[in-house]
Structure 1
Amino acid sequence: MVSIHLPQLIAMKGLCIVLTTLLLPLVKAGLFTSQTNDSVTTELLVKEHGYPFEKHTVVTEDDYILELHRIPYSARANSSSSSGPRQVAFMMHGLGVSSSDWIILGPNYSLAYALSDAGFDIWMGNARGNTYSMKNTKLSSKSSEFWNFSWHEISVIDLPAMINYVLEFTGEKQVRYFAHSEGTTNYLVLNSMKPEWNDRFKSAHLMAPVGFISHSTNIFLAIGSPIAGQPNPIREILGSFKFKPSKEIALVLKELTCNFSLPEQFQVLCGNTLFSLTEFNEDSANEEYISDIMATTPSSLSINQYLHYIQEYRSGYFRQFDYGSIRNLVEYGAADPPEYNLTNVKGPVFIYFGEADKYVTRPDLDRLIENLPNSTLAGLYAVPRGNFDHLAFLYAKDVKKVNDKVLEDAKSIK
């Protein structure tokens, strides 16, 4: 294992930025060519895969227009008919992605299709600011005010708005919740802040759950922590803004760090440049779908979502956004942000994790479990592959083994 210290990381990151700036004209000249198709959407893929698709919209209490994607039934042979009520499976994506992650690998691999084939009514959420939820009835997405949110607002405003809509539309009283990464954070925050919401979840299936992350070995958290891990005047001056890594830049960095014979230390950046901030091992990916993955990932997000996670990494707490002691007094009535009360989270909750996840490590996962009530955890599943990492839950060649376990657990709760 390569050991890299923070100064080296910062130096490498800076060098990549310089090289990117110098080589970007070569990208535009066609030296580095991308095979991605920007017209790829969740709707297009679902229909191409032969499943019915519906688009729904929800307006939040603070005027964001969120897009929900539904697969009402499975069109596969020998599946149950399209008539009659179905139990709702609500699926929430992770940081910087969208509903497309749940269907990107097609009917033989993706979890949404496995659940649909099993008879569930599939609803996929899209958080404010991502590809499908870029509108507000009062604010332009070009304004700083539009991007003034973190995953806290997604958790306590977006998620309940979407689930309320789904329950009202279907007439069901509960949903089964399936989430990855930031989607798991949303569940933990919502039920910590609003305990009455526990009753609207029949079960929760949390893949790579992100609560405490102080032991993370993700290099982007390490790089960002000294700069953005605590409030500072520069951060306040910059304000809130959209964050979406350029696909052209990602392409250059991929070529630089993955395909050329650079020193070993630079190879740790390969997965990051291709798969955003989570250090996914490209060798584990289902190669057949790489172009679709690159066409839909990453999605846009608020820089505050990323900063909020950096704060959690630096502080060691699972708590609300830190604005600095002065503003915290105004927002929270205390110099420090309040912690999320995980004792409010009820079960049944199933947790799935990979031993090679650099974002969610075992010590942090154990701490999360220790803070949950004893009756909450219904199942803990370690994927039986040593190099199964954070994004493997979405893109890995062998993700079906996880999907089979998730489906088994979902069926076990009547």
Structure 2
Amino acid sequence: MKLLNTIILTYTILLILSTPNFLSLKAQENGTGMATMPVQSSEGGFCKSMVETNGYECEDHNVTTKDGYILNVARIPMGRCRDCRTRGNKSPVLLQHGVFVDGRSWLLLPPKQSLAFNLADKGYDVWLVNSRGTEYSEGHTSLNFDDPAYWNWSLDELVAYDLPATFQYVYDQTGQKLHFVGHSLGTLMVMAAMSRDQLVNMLESVALLSPVAYMGHTTSLLSRVIADNFIAETLDSLGFYKFDMRNVIIIEILKVICRIPSVDCTTLLFTPYTGQNCCMKPSIMDIFLDHEPQPAAMKIVIHMCQLIRGGNTTMFDYNDSGTNIKHYGQPTPPAYNMIGIPKDLPIFLSHGGADALSDVDDVKLLLDSLQGHDPDKIVVQFIERFAHADYVMSGNAKEHVYDPFIAFLSRLH
């Protein structure tokens, strides 16, 4: 069994690496722009693909960042049960996905098990973000999706542009502070923003699922190999600017492989990256492969590798003191200081004992930085068997994570 999985994994990686769509060459620099406007539900949009088919009302909105990226943000304003089908003055909840996926990662589970749909059914105004470069957020005011300059971004741009634009838009639309839910990179985005005293005035609470604040102890085999061998940096130096694992032929091959009874595809595709997820059903793999993975900038992969090797959470390091001075006014990149997170902000934090990306030792560092937090304003949950993908793809996440989180929210009102 292990030999079969190893052979298939090796073969799959070789196929992906030999696919032209996997990497894209760069040739030019960046540009900027700005605008913001709402958009109604449209044919083929995010709402049509994942939300309305499940019987929920949905609105597609466009939010344009100060550097010109046009982000799709989907709104589920009400649930589908008889008592939930009212708009009214509902509390907004903003869900932010991690890297290599998009907002559909919150909708892969059936409606009764999905966090987004459960929140809507419980009376919340739900907003799903699709980060720059993902399928529904490919637009830009001046750059084409395939322009190398389009992909010139790291964590810093997500923190400086995407989150503020999205927060402000939802705040303006609802007139209320936001409850924020992040998974994986989504947690790092909001913690980095809060550490620099951004967005706090628009936040009602924060939920950190599989929090990634520090990465020096990560046991993710794939992440370690890429980081320790400077693979992303090497590819960047060769002119590759985009990390894109999605290809129609590869996806169809993986679907066929995943239907082989003796192949545990959840282990095959996720364990080398996320750790051994305990509770994902094999049937979810077809749904996942229909929509994910999503591309990301090579620069953000390099940034994550820097955090893994360095152990500290800093802005992007250009590995040249002169360039760093040009960007930051100092020879080394500034740190995102987690101690700066407001001590009276309600926080729900959940992490897993089998999570290779959000390692227990790294989460301990985060918790150490939160020691001065108001004990009445923080809930810390540890689930021994959970790994990284369990938080968005396991059927029992509702029982173990989502229900306690919704109870946490209800206590705030």
- State whether TM-score is above 0.5: yes
> Which residue of structure 1 aligns with residue 331 of structure 2?
335
Cα distance, 1:49 vs structure 2: 1.2
Aligned equivalent of 1:32: none
In 1, Cα distance between the equivalents of 2:114 and 2:206? 18
**How far did 1:252 drift?**
4.7
Task: Kindly provide the CA deviation profile for residues 132-187 of structure 1, in whole angstroms up to 9, marking residues without a partner as x.
Answer: 11010100111110000012211221011011011111122x00011110110110
Cα distance in 2, alignment partners of residues 359 and 298 from structure 1: 17
Secondary structure class of the residue paired with 1:240 = strand
Q: Which moved more, 1:272-281 or 1:48-57?
A: 272-281
* 1:138 match: 142
The 1:206–1:328 alpha-carbon spacing in structure 2 relative to 1, beyond 3 Å, is: same
Deviations 1:171-210 (A, max 9, x none): 22x00011110110110111112x1521211110110011
How is 1:41-190 mapped onto 2 (pairs within 5 angstroms)? 42-79=47-84, 81-172=85-176, 174-190=177-193
The Cα shift of 1:237 comes to: 4.6
Q: Does residue 291 of structure 2 align to residue 286 of structure 1?
A: no
* AA of the residue aligned to 1:405: P
From 216, 222, 225, the counterpart of 2:224: 222
The answer to whether the 8 A contact 1:176-1:201 is kept is: yes
CA distance change for structure 1 residues 137 and 248 in 2, over 3 Å: closer, same or farther?
same
For the residues of structure 1 that align with 2:206 and 2:319, how far apart are their CA atoms? 33
Match among 366, 372, 375 for residue 373 of structure 2? 375
SS at match of 2:192: helix
The aligned amino acid for 1:124 is L
- C-alpha distance in 2, partners of 1:360/1:254? 28
Change (3 A) 1:78 1:137: same
Cα distance, 1:191–1:15 mapped onto 2, change above 3 Å? same
Change (3 A) 1:175 1:21: closer
* Cα distance in 2 for residues equivalent to 1:254 and 1:145: 33
Alpha-carbon contact 2:47-2:60 (below 8 Å) kept: no
Distance 1:167 1:255, change over 3 A: same
Q: CA deviation at 1:229?
A: 7.3
Shift of 1:236: 3.8
* 1:128 match: secondary structure: coil
Q: Secondary structure at the match of 1:123?
A: strand
1:240-389 pair list within 5 angstroms = 240-246=241-247, 248-249=249-250, 252=253, 271=267, 273=269, 277-279=273-275, 281=277, 284-326=279-321, 327-346=323-342, 347-372=345-370, 374-375=372-373, 378-383=378-383, 386-389=384-387
Aligned residues: 380
Matched to 1:240, the amino acid is Y
Residue type at the aligned position of 1:297: E
Once the two structures are TM-superposed, the CA of residue 250 in structure 1 deviates from its matched residue by 5.5
Q: RMSD of the alignment, in Å?
A: 3.1
Partner of 1:35: none
Instruction: Kindly state the Cα deviation for residue 310 of structure 1 after the two structures are TM-superposed.
Output: 1.3
Aligned in 2, Cα 1:20/1:161: closer, same or farther, shift over 3 Å? closer
Determine helix, strand or coil for the equivalent of 2:213: coil
Letter in 2 for 1:181: S
Identity of aligned residues (%): 25
Cα offsets for 1:336-365 (capped at 9, x unmatched): 221102122122211101111111111100
Instruction: Tell me the CA shift for residue 228 of structure 1.
Output: 2.3
CA deviations over 1:370-397 (Å, ceiling 9, x no partner): 12361266010012xx431100011112
1:206 aligns with 2:205: no
Give 2:194's aligned residue.
Answer: 191
Contact conserved, 1:99 with 1:125, CA < 8 A, in 2?
A: yes
8 A Cα contact 1:243 1:303, kept in partner: no
CA distance in 2, matches of 1:227, 1:332: 27
Unaligned runs of 5+ in 1: 3-8, 25-38
Does the residue aligned with 1:286 lie in a helix, a strand or coil?
A: coil
**Alpha-carbon distance, 1:63 to partner:** 0.7
What are structure 2's unaligned runs of at least 5 residues?
Answer: 21-43
CA contact (8 A) 1:74 1:119 kept: yes
SS in structure 2 of the partner of residue 340 of structure 1: coil
Q: Secondary structure at the match of 2:83?
A: coil
The match for 2:394 is 396
Question: Distance between the aligned counterparts of 2:60 and 2:17, measured in 1?
Answer: 39
| Aligned 8 A contact 1:42 1:100 in 2 | no
- CA 1:307–1:253 in structure 2 vs 1: closer, same or farther (change >3 Å)? farther
Taking a change above 3 Å as real, the CA distance of residues 252 and 86 of structure 1, as seen in their structure-2 partners, is same
2 CA distance for matches of 1:275 and 1:244?
17
